[in-house]
Chains A and B, each alone.
Chain A
Amino acid sequence: MKTIILRTASNYLLPVLLLFSIFILLRGHYLPGGGFVGGLIAAIAFVFHSFANGLKNTKSLLRFHPGFLMPAGLALSFFSGLSPIIFAGDPFMTGLWYHGHVPVLGSVGSALFFDMGVYLVVVGVTLTIIFTISEAP
């Protein structure tokens, strides 16, 4: 599988897929997509990269253990859910919205950060699982 073509392709594929995944994440509020799918696509991108270049290369590319993304993502989602309690006295998970239009994204609100958390967790989880399996004897 580790042909040169694939390796080269995956080197380009990775950033493209990552960008695409972020695109999917951000547009989720308006069109099909969202944190889950986005996260899964990003994870698949890394998985392909590791298939092509070996696990070690992918890991060194990442610099940190993908497991770290899980608490980070959870924390992000949790605090975006918590923010209405802290800032507005509204119930947990109430959407807080920045009034005004932001280019590309449309409206910006706590839900977006929540979805980003989801994205991070999904990437973290998938990569942790797949990397661990690949490493296991």
Chain B
Amino acid sequence: MEILLAILVGLLYASGIYMILRRSLVKLIIGIILLGNGANLLIFLLGRITKGLPPIIPENSKVFLEAYADPVPQALILTAIVISFGLQSFAIILVKRAHKVVRTDDLDEMNATDEDS
């Protein structure tokens, strides 16, 4: 399964970048979201995956009795997911405003700030 997950991660990264490289504002956001998912999954994968053993101490016990999945990557991903949520919602609104103010969906037309004034 690791190989499949690695391929998925690669696919997410690739599709994310591919979408960012398109000129459309909406695709840009989708690309960023895909990329973020890829990064989360990568942490998950590299933290080593364990099937069916959630890191929750069983009832009536103070310590783990059997093996458990490494909780650290999970905590990191949780933080990362929530942060990306904040960033993504901001991004969506930013795109909406930018579209409205600049009146274009084409990123190639948003280059006034790089021109000398």
Contacts and interface: CB of A to CB of B under 8 A. Distances in A.
Say if the two chains contact directly (CB < 8 Å): yes
Interface of A: 30-32, 36, 122, 125, 129, 133
B89 A32 contact: no
Interface in B65-117: 78, 82, 86, 89, 93
B56 interface: yes
| Interface secondary structure of A, over-half rule | helix
Closest 7 CB pairs of A and B: A129-B89, A36-B82, A31-B56, A36-B78, A133-B93, A32-B56, A125-B86
On chain B, which size bracket covers the interface?
A: under 10
A32 B75 CA distance: 12
B47 interface: no
A36 to B, nearest CB: 6
A49 to B, nearest CB: 20
B93 to A, nearest CB: 7
A122 B86 CA distance: 10
Contacts of B89: 129
B29 to A, nearest CB: 14
A121 B93 CA distance: 20
Contacts of B54: 32
Contacts of B78: 36
11 contacts: A30-B56, A31-B56, A32-B54, A32-B56, A36-B78, A36-B82, A122-B82, A125-B86, A129-B89, A129-B93, A133-B93
